[in-house]
Amino acid sequence: MKTKKIEVCDAVSIDVICKVNDIDDIKIGGPHTLGYDFMVSPDVDTIELISFIKKCLKLYKRPLININTNGCIKDFPVKCLWTKKNIEDCIKGNHVC
């Protein structure tokens, strides 16, 4: 039997809150706010990345309430980390808001 090794790291969580969810969706169990959760490398300059995210939101006319960094997520798969390109594509495609 083959064993697969997955490369992991401690990822930084960037929580982008874009808007308050519709009350009817909240009533049936939806989240209170809508936005994006990006897990990025701990080596990334988060201040610069937050500035980049704000520019993308403005460029693609997406709402913004707040952006928070929520510390580290232990043992996060490296292949699932978000890059600037992935983040911009997600915001451009309006995949959440």
Q: What is the 3-state secondary structure (H, E, C) of 34-92?
A: EEEEEEECCCCCHHHHHHHHHHHHHHCCCCCCEEEEEEEEEEEEHHHCCCHHHHHHHHH
Evaluate if pTM is beyond 0.95: no
Per-residue pLDDT of the chain (97 residues; tens, 9 = 90+): 788 888 999 999 999 999 999 999 999 999 999 999 999 999 999 999 999 999 999 999 999 999 999 888 899 999 999 999 999 999 999 876 5
